[in-house]
């Protein structure tokens, strides 16, 4: 299987031309982070990469250096295994990858969308899959992560399928701070109705707006998966003060791979914040056949989740992507001051004429 666009470019383009290609495609060259050997060559064969984004040294503000991490992973057991075993096996795998992140001094870490479960929404079957839905505050996944956050002094964003006290189901990212306290949650605003992503069968449109969470390591927000196709969603997190926006996702090659490198990256540029795009990896096969409503034969295989997680800075420079096929941990050392530096340079926040668009949008919305 095709492994990765970056390794392909490196393999075939001579160094001098490669420098130009990378400069034009990816922006400013990033320094590689020196990570512990035990982290890079880990026993679990997790791909670990780290990069450092450059920033100016200011006279009146100290740098605000933070290490951000994102994890992409395959599920562990077949989707036919007992649910609790499936979930525990994922917990076990992720706890090992989080310990690698801790070795690399990661401060804020985000996991992929619906990370403790297979991506079941293609099936349209309620049972047994709705059983994976759990409380954001007291469910097993949050309890599992709280201790880890405390142990490693790490903020973790945990995207889960949430079941609230009224038994309403949501697609939610839970934010747990570095003391192990749940400081809030965000529920996915935009629900896909495309291909096999039949997600409205399972959970409701989010009702949390565009929250930004103040943490010890910066102001963070989460734009869950399909929300990345909606520029206004990205915009609102920026207007509310986000310095880093995570985009935990689950998407497949036949559908979105050409858009993947563009959307989170342009959001970082347009809104002068860091964006972190995370996609799951692997091919998930389900016990019952399902159709895509496109006349093609019924199938049990959702397609290939192509990983390729990457991080972009507000100046548009970006890391290479993680592999399309392997579990991975991508780390970036960033200076949050870069957000303001880019705003001062480009002036997008002063030239964007929100008033003009607010009136036009109101006219369109009200003309129904």
Ligand X SMILES: NC(=O)NCCC(=O)O
**Within 195-214, which residues bind ligand X (CB under 6 A)?**
197
Could you say whether residue 222 binds ligand X (CB under 6 A)? no
Q: Shortest gap between Cβ of 85 and ligand X (angstroms)?
A: 24
User: Would you say 197 or 237 has its CB closer to ligand X?
Assistant: 197
Could you say whether residue 256 binds ligand X (CB under 6 A)? yes
Among 47, 113, 243, 335, binds ligand X (CB under 6 A): 113
Indicate if 11 belongs to the active site.
no
Among residues 39, 122, 225, 276, which one is catalytic? 225
In 3-state terms, what secondary structure has residue 70?
strand
In 3-state terms, what secondary structure has residue 363?
helix
Tokens matching residue 357 = 């668009």
User: Would you say 112 or 178 has its CB closer to ligand X?
Assistant: 112
Contact partners, residue 322, CB within 8 Å, separation at least 6: 4, 47, 49, 72, 307, 308, 309, 310, 328, 330
Could you say whether residue 226 binds ligand X (CB under 6 A)? yes
Among 35, 77, 235, 255, binds ligand X (CB under 6 A): 255
Could you say whether residue 250 binds ligand X (CB under 6 A)? yes
Could you say whether residue 251 binds ligand X (CB under 6 A)? yes
Rg (alpha carbons) of the chain, rounded to whole number: 20
Nearest to 171 by CA among 215, 114, 123: 114
Could you say whether residue 225 binds ligand X (CB under 6 A)? yes
Residue 336 DSSP symbol: T
Indicate if 62 belongs to the active site.
no
Among 192, 238, 248, 282, binds ligand X (CB under 6 A): 192
Could you say whether residue 337 binds ligand X (CB under 6 A)? no
Please list the residues that pair with 157 across neighbouring strands: 110, 175
Q: Shortest gap between Cβ of 223 and ligand X (angstroms)?
A: 11
How far is the CA of 253 from the CAs of 33, 47, 148, 190, in angstroms? 29, 20, 33, 20
Place of tokens 């959307």: 263
Could you say whether residue 248 binds ligand X (CB under 6 A)? no
Among residues 113, 134, 162, 284, which one is catalytic? 113
Could you say whether residue 271 binds ligand X (CB under 6 A)? no
Indicate if 276 belongs to the active site.
no
User: Measured between alpha carbons, how far is 344 from 205 in angstroms, rounded to an integer?
Assistant: 36
Could you say whether residue 327 binds ligand X (CB under 6 A)? no
Structural element, H or E, at residue 317 = none
User: Measured between alpha carbons, how far is 273 from 258 in angstroms, rounded to an integer?
Assistant: 22
Q: One symbol per residue from 59 to 98: x for binding ligand X (CB under 6 A), - otherwise; what is it? A: ----------------------------------------
By CB neighbour count within 10 A (0-12 exposed, 13-18 middle, 19+ buried), where does 123 fall? buried
Place of tokens 């991080």: 311
**Binding footprint of ligand X on the chain (CB under 6 A):** 113, 192, 197, 225-226, 250-251, 255-256
What residues act catalytically?
A: 113, 188, 225
């Amino acid at each position: 299987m095709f492994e990765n666009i970056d390794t392909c470019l490196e393999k075939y383009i001579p160094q001098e031309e490669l420098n130009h290609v990378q400069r034009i495609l990816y922006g400013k060259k990033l320094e590689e982070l020196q990570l512990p050997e035990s982290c890079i060559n880990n026993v679990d064969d997790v791909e670990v990469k780290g990069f450092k984004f450059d920033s100016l040294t200011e006279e009146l503000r100290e740098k605000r250096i933070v290490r951000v991490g994102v994890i992409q992973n395959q599920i562990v057991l077949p989707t036919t295994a007992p649910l609790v075993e499936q979930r525990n096996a994922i917990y076990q795998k992720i706890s090992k990858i989080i310990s690698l992140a801790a070795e690399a001094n990661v401060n804020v870490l985000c996991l992929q969308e619906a990370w403790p479960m297979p991506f079941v929404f293609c099936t349209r079957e309620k049972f047994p899959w709705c059983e994976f839905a759990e409380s954001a505050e007291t469910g097993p996944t949050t309890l599992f992560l709280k201790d880890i956050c405390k142990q490693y002094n790490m903020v973790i964003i945990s995207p889960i399928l949430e079941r609230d006290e009224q038994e309403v189901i949501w697609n939610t990212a839970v934010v747990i701070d570095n003391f192990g306290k749940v400081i809030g949650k965000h529920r996915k605003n935009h629900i896909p109705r495309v291909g096999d992503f039949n997600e409205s069968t399972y959970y409701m449109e989010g009702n949390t707006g565009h929250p930004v969470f103040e943490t010890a390591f910066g102001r963070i927000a989460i734009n869950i998966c399909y929300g990345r196709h909606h520029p206004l969603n990205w915009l609102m997190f920026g207007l509310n003060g986000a310095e880093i926006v995570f985009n935990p996702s689950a998407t497949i090659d036949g559908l979105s791979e050409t858009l993947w490198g563009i959307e989170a990256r342009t959001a970082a540029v347009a809104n002068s914040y860091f964006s972190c795009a995370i996609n799951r990896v692997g091919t998930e096969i389900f016990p019952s056949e399902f159709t895509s409503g496109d006349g093609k034969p019924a199938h049990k295989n959702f397609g290939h989740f192509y990983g390729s997680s990457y991080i972009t800075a507000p100046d548009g420079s970006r890391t290479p992507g993680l592999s399309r096929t392997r579990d991975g941990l991508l780390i970036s050392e960033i200076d949050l001051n870069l957000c303001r530096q880019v705003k001062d340079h480009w002036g997008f926040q002063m030239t964007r004429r929100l008033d003009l668009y607010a009136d036009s949008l109101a006219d369109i919305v009200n003309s129904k």
